[in-house]
Amino acid sequence: MNKNPVITCVGEVLWDALPGGIYLGGAPLNVCLNLNRLGAEARMVSRVGEDRLGSEAKDRIERGGLDSDFIQVDKEHETGFVKVQLNSDGDPEYVIMQPVAWDFINLQQKKIVELLENSWAVVYGTLAHRQNHGLRNLSELSCLKVLDMNLRAPHFEKDTVLELVKGADILKMNMDELELLKSWYSISGSTEKALREIAARCSCLTICVTRGGDGAVMLHKRQWFEHGGYPVTVMDAVGAGDAFLAALLYGLSVDRNQEELLPLANAAGAYVASQSGANPEYSISDLDSVIEGKLLLQ
């Protein structure tokens, strides 16, 4: 492993229209911003429109400490936009515009090819694959492939998702996504049994399932881990899963003890859920304070 391994995130950059305002987001960008916040060497590959929202997105990405050199500008399609409504539990429901600039990310640019070839890990989801078949080549990279399922109906197809799962080294999903995957694979039984069977079929190194307020479980190198999470008063859950994944990858990249990975990831998810918007400011010391019980989130 390199001293400062590069983690590249590929996919959607968009604006979330929440009841409280408009926020820059997109799951891969949220993961990338959180990785940078934690001290990782993170890069973002995406595409925005040649419009005001695209220009503002690039400015905010740079202000967030990320390099925007790998954010392409599309002259024909608008910057991504999503209408988000929160249900009674504070969980987000999405209306995702289509087609938009990130549907046309081009991975063939020389500098992006070089970036991907020199990355320790590449993070991507299912949403950016809804019509961009050129992204399928990500599964052929020699680095760690990290798939955040992040299913958003009707923007996914069974065959595409199963292809992406098969090519992943690290797989992250929520309980609803696990149930869907179990039905597709005709798997029954406990969560642990299901994850072990999925790992055997797909050769995944790590599979993690988030359980909202009940924390998360993880199968990592054939070992089983559970963590119940932290008590939190939810402001909104937008971006909590992205922060969770970023902290998990950060922990892996710096060789944190395996027993520390889920507590760290759950602390990040809980902290972001306690704040408004997908990308609140925090530091690794804040997460350590949550873990140690010095920072309460309710």
The pLDDT of residue 133: 85
pTM of the model: 0.94
Tokens of 136: 């399928």
Tokens of 291: 């873990």
Tokens of 21: 């305002």
Give the chain's radius of gyration (CA, Å).
18
Average pLDDT, the chain: 93
- The DSSP call for residue 78 is P
C-alpha torsion 28→86→24→133, nearest 10: 40
- The predicted model gives 96-115 an average pLDDT of 96
Q: What is the per-residue pLDDT across 109-151, written as a single tens digit (0 to 9) for each?
A: 999 999 999 999 999 999 999 999 889 889 889 999 999 999 9
- The predicted model gives 252-270 an average pLDDT of 96
Listed in order, strand segments (DSSP E) in 109-201 are: 121-125, 144-148, 170-174
Q: What is the per-residue pLDDT across 213-243, written as a single tens digit (0 to 9) for each?
A: 899 999 999 999 999 999 999 987 888 999 9
Residues 6+ apart with CB under 8 A from 56: 24
- Compute how many other C-beta atoms are within 10 angstroms of the C-beta atom of residue 298: 9
Instruction: Determine contact, residues 195/185, Cβ cutoff 8 Å.
Output: no
Cα gap 222→231, rounded to integer Å: 29
Q: Which domains does the chain have, with CATH numbers?
A: 6-284 (3.40.1190.20)
| DSSP per position, 240-277 | HHHHHHHHHHHHHHTT--HHHHHHHHHHHHHHHHTSSS
Instruction: Determine contact, residues 155/128, Cβ cutoff 8 Å.
Output: no
Q: What is the per-residue pLDDT across 195-216, written as a single tens digit (0 to 9) for each?
A: 999 999 998 999 999 998 899 9
Cα gap 61→160, rounded to integer Å: 29
The pLDDT of residue 3: 58
Residues 6+ apart with CB under 8 A from 57: 13, 15, 24, 48, 71, 79
Sheet holding 216-220, edge to edge: 71-74, 41-49, 6-10, 121-125, 144-148, 170-174, 206-210, 216-220, 223-227
In this prediction, residue 161 has a pLDDT band, given cuts at 50, 70 and 90, of very high
Cα gap 270→263, rounded to integer Å: 10
Cα gap 223→192, rounded to integer Å: 10
Helix axes 175-185, 158-166, angle to 10 degrees: 100
- Compute how many other C-beta atoms are within 10 angstroms of the C-beta atom of residue 52: 9
Q: Please say whether the dihedral angle defined by the alpha carbons of residues 291, 283, 250 and 125, taken in this order, is positive or negative.
A: positive
Residue with tokens 């989801």: 125
- Compute how many other C-beta atoms are within 10 angstroms of the C-beta atom of residue 210: 24
The pLDDT of residue 2: 44
